[in-house]
Structure 1
Amino acid sequence: MMRTPLIKVLLIDDDPEERLLIQPLLRAEEQVRYQLEQVADYDTARKRILQGHDDVYLVDYHLGAHDGIGLIEEMTALGCTRPLLLLTHQDSLSIDQQAMLKGAADYLPKGELSAPLLTRAIQHALERKRHERLLRTMAMHDALTGLLNRTGVYDYLEHALARCQRDDRQLAVMFIDLDRFKEINDTLGHRVGDALLIGIAHRLKCALRVQDMVARIGGDEFLVVAEGYQRKQTPAHIAEKILMALREPFPLEGKPYFVTCSIGIATYPDGPAEAETLIRDADTALYSAKDSGKNTYHFFTEAMQQSIRERRDIHNHLLQAMQQDEFELYYQPQFALGTGEVVALEVMLRWRHPQQGLLQPEAFLGHAEELGLMQPLLEWTLQSLAQFQAQLPESLQTSLRYGINLSGRLLLRDPLVELLQQWCDRSGILPQQLELEISEEALLELHRKQDRRPLRLQQAGFGLVLDHFGTGYASFGQLQHYPICGIKVDRECTQQLLDNEVVRAVVEATRHVAHSLQLHAAACGVETPAQLMLLRELGFDRVQGQLPHPPRPAAHMLEQLQHTLRLR
């Protein structure tokens, strides 16, 4: 016989009579046992919350000289992971909004309290927190390998540097890049490439000491942090072990494949006690290792200028590319799972480099941001999109939507809303047809700064879509505060959907939360029929990926849209 679950509730209220109100309401619930305790003052409540022994906190609005919202704000800032619900005798919309902005899980007027209302609010708050914990795990870890991701490794490295400063110990950061991964990925496909990355992650963990940390911070990029090493186990020795661990072939598709790596190393205290600077220096050393023939390691030195020269060359080529019309637009359809029709096209920028061929955005957009070229590139994209739109069949000219990626830096530009409005006036494309895709990180930063640009875009009629959801920063509780019309689940989550229960739970919760907030839920990176079937079962609205339809140049996409293009 299963034991009835116990939920520990802490009532934070300076009136002892309030417990007599709350206790009977909790006892009325037969499916769950509640254990209610009460503290009466701010300081005691603060200590109790920081101990983390309770499951949920009911916080009164008035706490002597303090107020409950102040306590909620402080505890949220200190990282409280348990739900805090505000109780008050006032039924005030302004207090409700203020409480939710400061971190309250819910707002409950005491005059309206009933057993169903209170227990339902507690259960919903606990469920949201559970989903947020899943999302935090996703935010700090790479879904494919289970290693820390870029976000997680920065947090880890900052703490490691603090330990080494305190204990006068040494630390090494090793930036690892696979030498032939793109070739294997392009030849054998993403599924085999993912299997290779998992195998490499396993070998790296086996080659390192238990106290060393390994993370995956990009497509084929890994990072190792080794601290407190002895003389016999210098960073060079650790790098040799990593190179040796990858020498044995990896069996892929029944054939042996050999993969090597290049390693850049930066050390503390030779370098500064700053996570970002050490990683940057290790990255610079990595480029030097690659330039020297790969399958080796280099230590960072101040004399290394090769990466700086390369960056300068790319900058010069980018400036020329703007003048010589070397950019192209590719389009990838988003299909409605309900009807199979094309409802949107993601607009994808490509650079036809005269020497390197067709380059993906990740190869040059970072440099374009450094040069301040993001707005000119957006203007060029909009102009090219208007020409594409004019050639569409009339039946699609007002119904088809376009997804355009916006960087956080571009969002901060004051004339963005006016630029988009003027372009819509000139092109005849309606603001409602544009879905501006924004990363979790960028939207969260704007929300923290109380920046009104996203709201102004929404008020002007443009749609905002939260892109790459599930890989970074936002929580389910924050979604209600964002002026968005949709959520797009990241490709890596889609790839792990069938094999990772945690990822599946987060993806399913994402769809549920999206629909509860009247947002559309889309998934990108769909590559297999099994993924497509599961996303349909989970109730997603849209899908995008290689299986439904790969990205295609404008002419090719126009030709296909002249006919009926549907999800097969």
Structure 2
Amino acid sequence: MNKPMIKILVVEDDAADFMLVKQSLLKSDRNQYNVQHISEYNAASEALYQDDCDLILLDYFLGSHSGLELLQQAKTLQFKRPIIVMTGSNSPELDDMLMKEGAADFIPKDELSTALLDRSIRHAIERKEAEFKIAELVRKDPLTGLGNRYIFEEHMELAIARAARKKQHLAVIFLDLDRFKDINDSLGHHVGDLLLTLMGDRLRRAVRKSDFVARIGGDEFTALIDNIENVEEVNHILEKISREMCRPAPVSNTTLDVTVSMGVAIFPHHGQMAMELMQKADMALYESKAQGAGGYHIFTDRLQARLIHGLETEKELRHALRLQQFELFYQPQIDLDTGAICGLEALIRWNRSDGQVMSPIEFIPVAVRSGLIVPIGCWVIEAACKQLQLWREAGLNVPVSVNVSPRQLKFHGFLKQLLNCIKQYRVPPGMLELELTEEALIENGLNQAAMLGVIRNTGVGIAIDDFGTGYSSMRYLREFPLDRIKIDKSFVSEAGITGLREPAITQSILSLAQGLGLSVVAEGVETNEQKQQLQSQGCRVCQGYLYYRPLKLADLEPVLRQAGGISSNDRHS
């Protein structure tokens, strides 16, 4: 019977002691040992990076260094091989200390024998293998069998250390499946799980065996590609991954067309730390998805500047919330039959400490990414409800629409806060409307229909904002309790064009709304020709610069008083 070969690295600065250990090992009848020798601490420290043995036999005293230092370094590097410490000192206190620092065993040199070494080595290796298997189970994604976020971050730390030492590059790739939620919602989670398993397997086969892939949550995957020569090589890898993963996916009696978006950060150009690289790869992924499904983006200096700006803006936004630096502007909505104001859209502005008034286009994306959109959205709803009460007491009855973000709608306290505001400020039915994007309806799923039904039963209207720019679905239009569709301004106006930019689309939306019993408001009306075309197509309400820009409260109230408050026509009719 062949004896198993075990590769032993002996770290011992005393040549005579090394020969004693080697002879004891070579006498073994149980195992066959390949014995390597290192006599200096620095060489032993370097060997931890090489990971080129099955076990280390370590002398506790190494000149001016100790085995304890090497054990601590091995723990930091998460060295996976067992280390048995040998010493001439037979001290229970030293034994306990070494075991606490990760030593697999402690052997007094005066007790060295072939049998003792055989037994200690076998137990140390078996114990380490068992620990490793348990750790792997904890660190694996149970669905795909890939690593999870925890083990991916571990691998990144080790890979960065290797790359820094060898002066090499590595790439961190973040991937997610485009519109995966649609698949889950329409075909069921069991189909989604099968697709994720297939995509994980395709990703694993698209990279080299030495690379590491993981699923870090939902439909998000990561890949760690080391030993990169240049950016061109990264592009080739990304294209290979895209080709492999975007093939038609046969899943559960159907075939799905799947695309993935990817973001990349490269060490050391984009960062020195694992979390920094992951953050930047995630930002690059966000940029890739913003440019359209199925693409990839490598982190750039422009994104770096945006990251810094975003962090600074987030800090200032938190300060602005504490100091109540926000203000609502209002853009009137016009009844095209009468020319009267029939409603207002509340639009937030930020009065910064430096005197600058910042548009929501500049700070809302940061608020969404940071989660600050939830308290900011709560402030908007309360400010609008409070203003409705003040106007009603002054004899002005003008309905107000407020925008609600997808993240705000998911907030578990959203419904309670809204209902409390309606009650506190005695908002009459028909005077408040929530504007939701198609994204908000899709992200929150049909399970939100019940909540929106409760809201609508209080007399609060529900509108879809920017209709036609998202992922329109007749199912959502039919199953959600909706009152109104807002035609996005991109279909209405464009610089240099006096007529409608997309008259066929606006006509289609108006016909669709009429068939579903929904009212319509067109945004971005800037010319009389656009207004007349919309009116001829059957649109009754619009807003835009042709009539009013968003107005401060002080400028709006005289306009409302002069107009008599509101058109006699109900804007939802």
TM-score range normalised by the length of the shorter chain: 0.3 to 0.5
Larger Rg: 2
Q: Return the TM-score normalized by structure 1.
A: 0.47
Q: Return the TM-score normalized by structure 2.
A: 0.47
RCO higher in 1 or 2 (8 Å CA, sep ≥ 6)? 1
